[in-house]
Each structure stands twice: as structure tokens, then as C-alpha cells.
Amino acid sequence: MRNRRWRNLPWAGYGVLATLAGIGLAHLAAALTDPAASPVLAVGSTVIDLTPTPMKEWAIRTFGSADKAVLVGSVLAGVLVLAAGAGVLTRRRLAVGSGLLVALVGVAAVAVLGRPEAALLDLLPSAVAAVGATAALRLLARSHRQAAGADGADGGRRTVLLTIGAVAALAAAGGLAGRLVSGLRARPEDVALPTPTDPAPPLPRGLDDQVPGITRFRTPNADFYRVDTRLDVPVIGADDWTLTIDGDVDRKVSLSFDELLAMPMVERDMTLTCVSNSVGGPYVGGARWLGVPLADVLDLAGIGSTRADQILSTDFAGMTISTPLALALDGRDALVAVGMNGEPLPREHGFPVRLVIPGLYGFISATKWLTRLTLTTYDDRQAYWTDRGWATDAPIKISARIDTPKALAELDAGDVVVGGVAWAQTRGGVAGVQVRVDGGPWVDARLGPDGGDDYWRQWFHRWAAEPGSHRIAVRAVAGDGEPQTPVRAEPFPNGASGLHELLVRVS
């Protein structure tokens, strides 16, 4: 039995290596056509769509921003296990092993075609994967059998090793070339943004250098949270991008990127929050956004007589998000955004165009890679998250977070600075933050500079810490006078609530 296992081991390796070669070539083919058509990503995206909401929330809580890497890795691991089985079957009969690899690619092809805006050309990466993997498996199998029957054992082993090296190089070259091609296509840095006709005032200097450990007042683009259903970072060119406004409008309108840039631009400082953010969680960030007011864009199509109650926004791959029309047009600074912190939108944050609507959680307001705005009703059309039981009206809840000290920190007795951020978008901003230690009275913290009603505020409190274990809590008060609720709620279906509390040890 042991000898049989050892004899199967190289064949399992051949199956894995051949599959990696097919995946690498498919990645290159997808980079040249549509990155979303990559077989592994297509299967992963299908898994996301089929995963129940509680499991998605668990993944976000457990793995944070690494959830996509974990999912892709899990899909890839499953594929490679089956690929190893295909290699073992090849030992007995090449056609059976090759057939299993083709069947695996067939599953990916079905996932590719299942995307809302799939085209026939999107099958090319899957076809390349099938041809590349089966050809590599055939080459490895022939090399092994020739080596087994060769008179010179050393020469046979050398042939096998050279073949393995060549297939491995093919797999690596395909993957690296695909990555390089994707990086060179449609670069955001090649876009020149217009000067805003309505610029935002200079953002005040925050407490970044005064309170160690506090969140930066303006979140750098590279540090801004990312939560979406995309496993890859879409590569979309500004030159061939269009925005369509249709549905219950007076006339259907299609805008090119240059036409959008020619419209009057405004600049606004806004804090965005993800509905998956737990109490005290990291999925919140503040940035300066550049874009055209959403109302101006919709007015191009004429919506004065519309009976619609929602804006159904669609991304480049058919993902839909619904926004209550009344909230989007109630005077808040809803933007069709093209810039972030003085730069074109990064790819991972929606390049070339996205929606940014203050005061609403991202799942009903922050469509990335935007291509369509459809005026319709909730009775007629259901968006992606609505179908999964999430709320249709989800204003961001007043919240405060403790950044420093960290939970379970070991502190020295004496003067301890407790600090963090708080937000109350479209509620008059943050008017106050209070800190409580060990269930005692609430004490007013000192607020950092004010960046506007739609922007978060930093805060800090000096605490005379005494030895022992202590529980620190924080709450915010909005500008309209409403305090943060202490009632605990999970993110599903309309955002988490409750007070952020943590335990520290003072010695």
C-alpha cells in the first residue's frame, strides 16, 4: 500500500502542475480580454453569490480585508486537490485524467457565463485553461513514461526534471505576464482631473501628531477600507467607459467619461461606512471626493415626472445597488465621483467612476465601477443586497470608536490618553464625545477639528489610570442632539449599534 502511494505521488504532482500552467495561461488571456473571466475568480464570485449572509458576515469579522484572499485560496486549494486526483488517474489512463481537468474547467466556464453581463468572448480564458492544462499533463505523462522505459536512468530523470521545470516556468510566466498586462491597462494615473468649480475648504490639521495611535484625520487611499463582492480589482478603461441613465425618465442619456469631466465638479469631505462594520470596527474612512452632483447627472435625463422610488445603480459586471430616490435627492452631497484625495479613483475604489452618498451605508449608496443609473421602483426591481434580506433604508448610525489604548493593553499607572474617532454623517456632525470608566459617570472628551457635518471627528480624553483592570466605554452625540444608542445590534440587516467598550490592565 505504501509503495502504491509513493508511486502515485509524482502523478498527483503532475496534475497540480499542469493545472497551475492552465490557470497561469488563463490569467494572461483574461488580462488581455476581461479579468473577471479568469476561471478561478469566476468560481469564487459564484461562491460569494451562493454564500448565505451569516457566513459572509462571519468571514468579514474573522478575516477582515483578507477575506477575498482566503476565499480565492480556498477555491484554488479545492481545485488543486481535484487536479491531484486527475494526475493520479492519468497514471492509468491519460484520457480519464485529462477529462477530469476539462470537467473542472467546464465548471468554471459555467460560472463565467452565469455573470449578468457575460459575453461569448469571456469563455476564451476557460478554453485556454483547458487546452493548456491538458497539454501540460500530456507532456508530463509522456516524459515520465519515456524516462521509466529509458536505458539510462540518469538521462530519463533529467528529461523529467527539465519537463517539470518547463511547465512550472510556463505557469509562472503566464501568471506574471497577466499581472503585468493588467497593471499597464487603463491606469488611473494617466487621467487628468479637472479643477473643481466648487472646491472644499482646506481640511484642518488633525490630532494625528498629538495623540499617538489615533486614526488619521484623512485616510490615505492605500489605507482606505475595501469591502465589495469583487475578488479581483477590475481593470476598466476611461476611454471606453459610459454611464447610462435610463428607466422612468424623460429620455435615456449616455455619458462618456470626457463628457462627465466637462460638467461642473464639486469637492466634498465625506466619511464612508460599511454596513458590515461591527461596533468599534475598521470599515470606516474619511476622504476628499471630487465629482458631479448626482442630481445634476439625473437631471440630464429628466426626472421631474418620475414615479420611481429608487435609483438602481449597476456596476460594469451587472452588480446592482438600490438607493432610495428621496434620500439621494434630499439635499445631501451625493456625488458621481471621479476623484479621491486629489487623485483619480484607485482601481480598488471604483475607477473610473463610483457613487458616493453621505449618511447612507455603502450597500445602498457607494456603487463602484458605476456604468448605469436606472430610475425604477422597489416593487419592480430588486438589487443584489435587497434580494438577500438587507434593509432598503439604511442611514448610518451615530458611533464612536476607541483607537487607543487597544483592548487588553497593559498600561502604566498615571496619565493615559484615550482617543479615537466618531461620526454622525448628515446629523449635524459630531457635537460631543463622552468617555466612561468602570461604569462611572460620563465625562466629556476633547474634540479634534471639525471637517464638516459629513466628516468624522477625532477626540481624546486624559485619564488618571490607577492599578487594576478597567473597562473603558465611549459614546458620541450628534449635532442634532441625538446620543449614540447603547442598544446592541448586529450589522445585518441595517448596521451595527451599541457602545464600544474595551478592557485594559493598569499596573
CA–CA–CA angle 235, 35, 116 (5° rounding):
100
Confidence class for position 65, pLDDT limits 50, 70, 90: low
Separation of alpha carbons 415 and 262, rounded Å = 54
Do residues 371 and 316 make contact, with C-beta atoms less than 8 angstroms apart?
A: yes
Separation of alpha carbons 273 and 266, rounded Å = 21
Tell me the per-residue pLDDT of 370-399, one tens digit each, with 9 for 90 and over. Answer: 999 999 999 999 999 999 899 999 999 999
Task: Quote the pLDDT of residue 132.
Answer: 92
Task: Quote the pLDDT of residue 311.
Answer: 97
pLDDT over threshold 80, residue 66: no
Under CATH, which number does the domain 399-506 receive?
2.60.40.650
Q: Which backbone phi and psi does 104 adopt, to 5 degrees? A: -60, -45
Tell me the per-residue pLDDT of 358-370, one tens digit each, with 9 for 90 and over. Answer: 999 999 999 999 9
pLDDT over threshold 80, residue 117: no
What is the chain's length?
507
Contacts (Cβ under 8 Å, ≥6 apart) of 353: 241, 243, 257, 260, 336, 337, 338, 345, 369, 370
pLDDT over threshold 90, residue 55: no
What is the secondary structure of 47-113 as a DSSP string?
HHHHS-HHHHHHHHHHHGGGHHHHHHHHHHHHHHHHHHHHHHHHHH-HHHHHHHHHHHHHHHHHHHH
Task: Quote the pLDDT of residue 52.
Answer: 77
Task: Quote the pLDDT of residue 153.
Answer: 56
Tell me the per-residue pLDDT of 439-459, one tens digit each, with 9 for 90 and over. Answer: 999 999 999 999 999 999 999
Tell me the per-residue pLDDT of 224-254, one tens digit each, with 9 for 90 and over. Answer: 999 888 877 888 989 989 999 999 999 999 9
Task: Quote the pLDDT of residue 155.
Answer: 58
Instruction: Specify the amino acid at residue 492.
Output: F
Separation of alpha carbons 27 and 31, rounded Å = 6
Task: In the chain, list all ranges with CATH 3.90.420.10.
Answer: 221-387
Task: In the chain, list all ranges with CATH 2.60.40.650.
Answer: 399-506
Task: Quote the pLDDT of residue 326.
Answer: 95
Q: What is the mean pLDDT of residues 406-435?
A: 97
Write the secondary structure of 330-352 as one string of H (helix), E (strand) and C (coil): CCCCCEEEEEECCEECCHHHCCC
Name the superfamily (CATH) of residues 221-387.
Oxidoreductase, molybdopterin-binding domain (3.90.420.10)
Q: Is the model more confident about 254 or about 27?
A: 254
Confidence class for position 276, pLDDT limits 50, 70, 90: very high
pLDDT over threshold 70, residue 433: yes
